[in-house]
Amino acid sequence: MPLLREAGSYDAVRKAFHWQIPDHVNMAWQVCDRNAETRPDAIGLIVVHEDGSRVDYTWRTLRSLANKMANFLVAHGVVRGDRVGILLSQSVEAAISHVAAWKIGAISIPLFSLFGEEALAFRLKDSGAKVVVTEAIHYPKIDAIRAQLPSLELIAMIDGKSGPGMANLWPGLDQASDSFQNADTLATDPSYIVYTSGTTGNPKGALQGHRSLLGHMTGVEYFHDFLPKPGDLMWTPADWAWIGGLMNCLMGAWFHGVPVLAYRAAKYDPERALRLMATYKVRNTFMPPTALKMMRAIPDIPSFGVQLRTIACAGEPMGVELLDRGRQSFGLTFNEFYGQTECNLVVANCQKIMPIKPGSMGRPIPGHDVAIIDTDGNEVPAGTIGQIAMKRPDPVMMLEYWNNPEATRNKFMGDWLLSGDQGKMDEDGYLWFIGRDDDVISSAGYRIGPGEIEDCLTKHPAVELAAVIGVPDPLRTEIVKAFIKLLPGQAGDKGMEDNIRSFVKTRLSPHEYPRQIEFVEQLPLTSTGKIMRKVLRDREAAKSASA
């Protein structure tokens, strides 16, 4: 049953919605067990491997596997409150490991498969994980850091490798019972930890409760134009190790019994993504803007036969060019949204019931209170730049930072959770992202957000991707520097630099054009496709220090 009541306007949908969070709820029942009871023979998961082979899992099978996994973990000493690390890409084993942990009342920890030893060591040690579920390709990383992990008792291997302190998962599941009594969990009992990206200092573990899924669902329904609809099927190129892949897509779809396609290539390929979505009749997807921008080089996208109903987009602001391209390529309007690991899915667009303003993240999703505040915690007038903040109580808001009470305290100002992002709200209640606090460029008295300039740059016919930062300048404090990846066949020469500068000057403002341009082969991106501006700033600082 959807949480939102579909209506003809934003105001009507928002007014009709009220949270109904039960005292006792278990996410494993919400995403798996109840589907097995109501639609046991329907497909819940389609796993496609890189060789093109396909395995379908019904809800009956998924519940059986999750119960077996829960019994397997219990047999290896996992009890309520223990932490279970999941170092796997999109797969049935990753999905059932999360569900099994929640059944026990344990806490799952998604871990990105491309993490190196240092990143894994910090997260596993900080969380005190008792178990890691992984595969042979990642085992050497765990083995190399095992001496640093006194809490780690078991490595469960999905592909046959065994040894001291290890267990072969599938034979263990074959021997386990397919019946399991879920833990009686409160809505505020912990369910999973997702670690932040750690752009400043060590990553912080955002601890979420079993209420979290309900907190996500208004957003998932909203930016997918009132999910579920007949024929819906979800896929995302985003790894399930991130909250965007895990909660916005996998668990958000499963809450409504919507089947999910699991496919994660070693490297994102826009043409392969289009063929995949066409072949398996994907109807709903979450795409980072970078993934969509990379499709610019693909000619005649409509010829692929993709039949998407909705595309949700987040991570970097979308502008007119990307929206126009979406309408031309897919015949639909992208719904941009905004959230953070600590408080996800709080602002979004829903093109069915509200006009889309290019560059805007949308309006607060029903059930969430979002405002722009000043340094004293006061809401600011429309059009004023301030910090984006979310008001508690809110079921999608983290319970706390794991093992870090000081960081938890610093994240709040009164009842406002501070995003660390600068933004503004217009007279119509639409929110506009300006940049991270440390991304905003201060030049000759102007405060310049990089997103608008990057959007303008990517409209240039020669530009594939662009990133903008401020670099020190004795006269202006900072000047705008652009790092640009050109489309194949384009030359990064002086003429191109002048052309690009003129392009921005005439479309934005003379104070916003990039006074410095550097052409690059690649840009530093997070695994979810966000530009890592801090990496670029650090590189520039290192250059200045050595000059």
pLDDT of residue 453: 87
For residue 159, the Cα-to-chain-centroid distance in whole angstroms is 27
pLDDT of residue 289: 77
pLDDT of residue 177: 98
pLDDT of residue 202: 77
pLDDT of residue 276: 97
Tell me if residue 187 falls in helix, strand or coil: coil
For residue 222, the Cα-to-chain-centroid distance in whole angstroms is 16
Cα 132 to Cα 111: distance, rounded to the nearest angstrom: 10
Closest C-alpha to 523, from 465, 443, 447, 448: 465
Pairing outcome for strands 284-287 and 335-340: unpaired
Closest C-alpha to 176, from 17, 41, 68: 68
Residue with tokens 């779809």: 253
268: left (phi over 0), alpha (psi -120 to 50) or beta: beta
Judge contact between 213 and 255, C-beta under 8 A. Answer: yes
Residue 264 is classified by DSSP as: -
**Positions of the chain with pLDDT under 70:** 197-201, 316, 444-447, 509, 527-528, 547
DSSP string, 78-137: --TT-EEEE---SSHHHHHHHHHHHHHT-EEEE--TT--HHHHHHHHHHHT-SEEEE-GG
Long-range contacts of 415-418 (CB under 8 A, 24+ apart): 415/391, 416/371, 416/373, 416/377, 416/389, 416/390, 416/391, 416/392, 417/342, 417/343, 417/389, 417/390, 417/391, 417/392, 418/387, 418/389
Instruction: Kindly state the tokens that stand for 324.
Output: 């126009």
pLDDT of residue 342: 96
CB-CB neighbours of 101 under 10 Å: 29
Cα 105 to Cα 293: distance, rounded to the nearest angstrom: 41
Pairing outcome for strands 412-413 and 416-425: antiparallel
Cα 504 to Cα 454: distance, rounded to the nearest angstrom: 10
Domains and CATH numbers, the chain: 438-546 (3.30.300.30)
Sort 277 into a burial class: Cβ within 10 Å, 0-12 / 13-18 / 19+: buried
Closest C-alpha to 313, from 249, 230, 262: 249
Cα 187 to Cα 399: distance, rounded to the nearest angstrom: 11
Judge contact between 365 and 348, C-beta under 8 A. Answer: yes
Q: What does the buried/exposed string (b/e) look like for 317-340 if buried means 16 or more CB atoms within 10 Å of the residue's CB?
A: bbbebbbebbeebbeebbbbbbbb
Q: Which residues have C-beta within 8 Å of that of residue 439, sequence separation ≥ 6? A: 422, 449, 450, 469, 533
Cα 195 to Cα 402: distance, rounded to the nearest angstrom: 9
Judge contact between 156 and 88, C-beta under 8 A. Answer: no
Cα 457 to Cα 481: distance, rounded to the nearest angstrom: 12
DSSP string, 133-186: EE-GGGHHHHHHHGGG-TT--EEEESSS---TTEEEHHHHHHHS-S-------B
What's the pTM value of the predicted model, to 2 decimals? Answer: 0.84
Cα 540 to Cα 522: distance, rounded to the nearest angstrom: 16
Judge contact between 132 and 157, C-beta under 8 A. Answer: no
Q: What does the buried/exposed string (b/e) look like for 467-488 if buried means 16 or more CB atoms within 10 Å of the residue's CB?
A: bbbbbeeeebebbbbbbbbbee
pLDDT one-digit tens code per residue, 479-501: 999 999 999 999 999 999 999 99
Task: Calculate the alpha carbon distances from 100 to 51, 69, 281 in Å.
Answer: 28, 6, 29
Helix (H) or strand (E) holding 277: helix 270-279
Please list the alpha-helical segments (H only) found in 411-475: 450-459
Cα 10 to Cα 462: distance, rounded to the nearest angstrom: 38
For residue 526, the Cα-to-chain-centroid distance in whole angstroms is 11
Reply yes or no: is the peptide bond before residue 228 cis, omega within 30 of 0. yes
Closest C-alpha to 458, from 261, 322, 350: 322
Instruction: Kindly state the tokens that stand for 336.
Output: 């941009």
